[in-house]
Amino acid sequence: MRGLFITFEGGEGAGKSTQIRILADLLRASGHEVVVTREPGGSPGAEAIRHAVLSGAAEPFGAEMEAVLFAAARADHIDRTIRPALERGAVVLSDRFVDSSRVYQGVTGGLDRSFMETLERATVEDMMPDLTLILDIDPEEGMRRANVRRGALQADRFEKEGLSLHRRRRKAFLEIAKAEPKRCKVIDASRQAERIAAEIAGAVEAAIGRKNLRTGEKAG
Ligand code: Z5A
């Protein structure tokens, strides 16, 4: 693949969308084609599944079925959006990807490890990110931020869950970072957005260098 695949992970309200917007502007200004996408979603089929999983409509069918739906959405997202963009040489910024399944369905959903690994192999194949930025924040602060942003809108299937689950997820993301230090970088997301953005820009610049991605002109 000629492009660069970057994923943003972490708990609710960590600031992933905010940081993706800042980074996308920076990369575009230096001439890269940037594709901003998200999970669940990022392609027409996956966006349809997003509605089913986040509304809670799939919850009665159990955690395994939810995991299968997230995986099906991911397979479509990869085929329709991520792989074509990387083949063009673009930088792909995805708000969540496979680590969210590992954490939300695997760890806090209590699903069997080998079941999750089989799903992951069947969907992700060679499409692991070049860089995963894990935005780490105290879940209390993350939920406070998410509540402010949501305003009068209803909380989704996962936002409704309690603080202890959010704490377990934070720990699980940090464990992934520890197990895969080459791919993952933990970012302290409790700071001001500008300071976080500066650290992210440094990490992305290094990844661009490692991948020898062209800058200053449109990838093509
Ligand atoms: N899920 C899953 O279970 N399995 C899977 O495989 C996948 C996903 C892929 C998708 O939610 C849900 O699906 C997710 C996991 C599950 N669980 N939940 N909930 P989503 O896409 O609707 O939402 P999210 O991914 O959790 O993100 P978020 O809550 O929208 O937050 P965010 O993107 O990280 O933060 P933000 O929108 O950039 O910022 C939140 C607010 O804080 C906003 O008002 C900002 O202006 C403010 N903000 C941002 N940065 C700062 C700083 N630095 N200081 C102060 N305030 C800030």
For the chain, what are the domain ranges? 4-211
Q: Whose CA is nearest to atom 40 of ligand 1?
A: 13
41: left (phi over 0), alpha (psi -120 to 50) or beta: left
On the question of a cis peptide bond just before residue 40, with omega within 30 degrees of 0, the verdict is: yes
pLDDT digits (tens, 9 = 90+) for 113-154: 999 999 999 999 889 999 999 999 999 999 999 988 888 788
Nearest Cα residue to 12 out of 180, 185, 165: 165
Cα–Cα nearest to 20, from 201, 215, 209, 219: 201
Cα–ligand 1 centroid distance for 152 (angstroms): 16
Can you tell me which atom of ligand 1 is nearest the CA of 189? 53
Predicted confidence at residue 44, as pLDDT, reads 97
Q: How far away, in angstroms, is 66 Cα from ligand 1 center?
A: 19
- The reported pLDDT for the residue numbered 215 is 64
Q: Does domain 4-211 have CATH number 3.30.70.20?
A: no
**Cβ of 145 below 6 Å from ligand 1:** yes
Residues 6+ apart with CB under 8 A from 34: 24, 27, 28, 90, 91, 92, 93
Q: Which residue ranges in the chain fall short of pLDDT 50?
A: 216-220
